Structure 1
Amino acid sequence: MKEKLLSKETKLSLIGLGYVGMPIAVAFSKYVDVIGFDVNENKIFQYKNGIDPTNEVGNKAISECKVEFTSDETTLREAKFHIIAVPTPVNQDKTPDLYPVESASKVVGRNLTKGSYIVYESTVYPGVTEDICVRILEKESGLKCGVDFKVGYSPERINPGDKIHRLENIKKIVSGMDEESLNTIAEVYELVIEAGVHRASSIKVAEAAKVVENSQRDINIAFMNELAMVFDKMNISTHEVVEAMNTKWNALGFYPGLVGGHCIGVDPYYFIYQAEKLGYHSQIIASGRKINDGMGAFVADVVVRELVKKGYSPKKAKIAILGLTFKENCPDLRNSKAEDIISRLTEYGIKPEIVDNWANNKEAKTEYGVSLTNLEDLRNIDCLIISVAHDENKNLTVDQIKKITGSVKDKLIIDVKSCLNKKLLEKEGYFYWSL
């Protein structure tokens, strides 16, 4: 397969061109012919015109790459190596929403040819690839898995917005349904993964590894968030406690914060769901999720509490939130926990102004029903909330903040990410609080 791809005898396809799929397609296109497929025609239009809405590789890389961007699924028949990288969100009741991966499997199945390999990168609980996806592929194609085609699983590890830990320098977990498919899949990925690959013993092990690595981070952040809530009652700076703790060689270096996005804030629910299907009710992971899901409301409650202490009527106070995307320096709005702050404030009858230069105004309106404001237009703000540590938020100067708040007396700075200079702001006369 590797030689056929390199000699352009066949093609590689990427199904799902979001924050994960698009960088993979661009990386492989440097070596082999790549078909980049997505059902979103607007997204395909942007890619064809050299626009990278994800900001993961940039407009220049999109313009110069040789990916054949298309929303015509029949084009997939020209490929023998398919990578499926569609999102796997959760439903309102926190159960896995497998519709995207099932739909992608149907698309590939309808256009599958003998001798093909299908690799899933979407996060799923152990068993989904072999027990659900394979059945769909067989039904749609009329072919037999293990005889006419083979499957594997290689969990995505791309960190949106991270310009240091990239696809090429993150070790890749690969797996296959048998030894032959494992070796083939590993060889193909080794074309672009400079850090090398780790061969998992089975598809289920690879599926579990992905869910567990994000659940581990979720639990550690939940621990810090619980400490933050307790330290708030003790009037102790969590950030200063963590800095002191981190002087020990084996400290883990986690900080409290809002946990959103389509990985850490979602993957643990896949583990919890499958565990409960087997009769085990998660305790630690479920508790961690409960804590992290409640942090937006906790921050909003702190805002109201401190406004009242300062003599404000919360409904009449002017509040601005800097940051709506789920993480810093990234335009991804999915599962934003800054929105949880907004929702809680809305319950109090408060309508804050929202600023985020990374977010798309139309998407913000569609996703959360909010309209974005320019930073330059903020005036006489009583409470400034820094919810996302975008570079421009971290680099705010005292003069900029004074321009936003007008006066300093009794004005509040709620710094969720502890990214501003506490001592400097307090010296100026601001009330400063951080998570």
Structure 2
Amino acid sequence: MPGTGENSSRQPSDSPDYPGSSQVESSVSPDYPVKTVAVVGLGKIGLPLAAQYASKGMRVIGCDVLAEVVESINAGLAHIHEEAGLEEAVAAAVAAGTLSATTDTTGAAKQAGVVVVIVPLIVAPDRSMDYRNIDAATRAVGRGLRRGTLVVCETTLPVGTTRQRLGPMLEKESGLKAGADFHLAFSPERLYAGRIFEDLRRYPKIVGGIDEASTKAAVDFYRSVLDAEVWAVENTETAEFAKLAETTYRDVNIALANQLALYAASREVNVNEAFKAANSQPYSHIHRPSLGVGGHCIPVYPHFLLRDATNGELSLVRDGRDTNDRMAEVGLQQLDRLLGGLQSRRVLVLGASYREDVKELAFSTVFPVVKLLHHAGAQVLVLDPLFRREELQALEAEVVDDVDTATSQPVDAIVVQAWHRDFRHLDWRRFKGLKAVLDGRGSVDPAAIRQAGAAYIAIGISETRAAAPK
């Protein structure tokens, strides 16, 4: 990751000057002040962005299709409660008159000098892409687009989408020409749920426009609203690809850790000691093996590249994706063998989220874990303190509300799917009849499991080591 500088808007020394740099003067003059910003999409990323821009003195109009979201924000209440500092930021901005919300995206675009679109591109479980939401948002912006406006998309997109799909939509709806009449750029969000404001300060902001003037306009805007470096790249395609490259890099490296772990297990190697020793070298950063990868980003965005890869291109990426997708099955096969079968076994899954301490189910490995357990004939229970019972209905498993309920009846095995902080002081001895724990995140102390009289299983732990005494 390139270095960042607090309150720095300089171009990184190893990043080429963006085309035209500060010498480029745009022929497109805004009809009204750039200080009005429309943020289209007030979800887990969009609302924090709106609050951030408002904190920098912008007049922000947030746009969302959900009337209840708009009403909540206009009352000074954030509808997202898990993001540190967000509720206070929204309340302060609304009270100061710098943040308001509306369902009228077209009307907001008419008033804005900058429009930031952060509407999700929906990806189905089969990895097919549904553009309907972002297309509708783009058309609504286009109907209100005025000469001189800067439109920036922050939604992660396949390479070429900004120029080839969104640009023509904006032109058709507005009657204007991208580049000649309005600016168009892409700037991927690079944010981690739960620490968005921190990440906005920490990571360079990547920006690429369809032309030099669009890049300059986007750079100038982000310099005015962020306390991080603004990293300009050649064009929208480069910016789109940068986001896909960074997430794919992580996916492939996680797959490497999983493949190495399976190799180690087959040869009775202590994988945790080996990885720790390897990582003592500054250039080695081997991940912990796990049951797989979840969330909106890492398991999804490699498919944006793979969808048009040809003639064996990106074979490493495809292999890495396949590896990570099968790790839940690998882990449960270990559990099945150790227990002598899963038929009629009571198995408790700890954590439904795709990662610890975040309330998000998107592409969580809890789904294949529960499905595979059901297929093996197990009785499946799920415990996640971050969710209400009704929010976990899609799992089609028995939801337990708390540890007391979970320990009221015997369980044969536990699968640690997300290691929330609420689980970190568990007394494993409370679980009656516990025979094995599958540590899907490599986060649990094996000694504590064995002291409870259970076997400890994890990706990379051989079955001999799993059954070994303390």
TM over 0.5: yes
Is contact 2:41-2:63 (8 Å) kept? yes
The aligned residue for residue 37 of structure 1 is 63
The aligned residue for residue 373 of structure 1 is 400
Distance 1:48 1:54 in 2: 16
The aligned residue for residue 72 of structure 1 is 104
| Percentage of identical aligned residues | 26
* Residue 50 of structure 2 corresponds to residue 25 of structure 1: yes
Question: Of the candidates 276, 300, 303, which is equivalent to residue 335 of structure 2?
Answer: 303
- Write the letter of the residue equivalent to 1:181: S
CA distances 1:4-48 after superposition (whole Å, capped 9, x unpaired): 99x977510111122221211110011201111122334434444
Is contact 1:261-1:333 (8 Å) kept? yes
Distance 2:170 2:306 in 1: 26
Question: Of the candidates 51, 55, 78, which is equivalent to residue 82 of structure 2?
Answer: 55
1:383 shift after superposition: 0.8
Distance 2:71 2:218 in 1: 30
Question: Of the candidates 273, 281, 290, which is equivalent to residue 307 of structure 2?
Answer: 273
* Residue 236 of structure 2 corresponds to residue 203 of structure 1: yes
Question: Alpha carbons of 1:353 and 1:53: their partners in 2 closer, same or farther (altered >3 Å)?
Answer: farther
1:227 shift after superposition: 2.0
* Residue 204 of structure 2 corresponds to residue 175 of structure 1: no
Distance 1:421 1:82 in 2: 49
- Write the letter of the residue equivalent to 2:80: P
The aligned residue for residue 291 of structure 1 is 323
Distance 1:252 1:238 in 2: 14
The aligned residue for residue 386 of structure 1 is 416
- Write the letter of the residue equivalent to 1:427: Q
Matched positions, count? 419
TM-score w.r.t. length of structure 1: 0.89
Distance 2:111 2:391 in 1: 34
Superposition pairs for residues 219-368 of structure 1, below 5 Å?
A: 219-257=252-290, 258-276=292-310, 281-308=313-340, 314-365=342-393, 367-368=394-395
Question: Alpha carbons of 1:426 and 1:332: their partners in 2 closer, same or farther (altered >3 Å)?
Answer: same
Distance 1:135 1:8 in 2: 25
- Write the letter of the residue equivalent to 2:412: D
- Farther off after superposition, 138-147 or 92-101: 92-101
Aligned Cα root-mean-square deviation (Å): 2.5
Question: Alpha carbons of 1:273 and 1:339: their partners in 2 closer, same or farther (altered >3 Å)?
Answer: same
Distance 1:203 1:70 in 2: 28
Distance 1:216 1:431 in 2: 34
Question: Alpha carbons of 1:320 and 1:108: their partners in 2 closer, same or farther (altered >3 Å)?
Answer: same
Distance 1:156 1:248 in 2: 31
- Farther off after superposition, 96-105 or 143-152: 96-105
- Write the letter of the residue equivalent to 1:299: G
1:92 shift after superposition: 4.7
Identify which of structures 1 and 2 has the higher relative contact order when contacts are C-alpha pairs closer than 8 Å and 6+ apart.
2
- Write the letter of the residue equivalent to 1:402: R
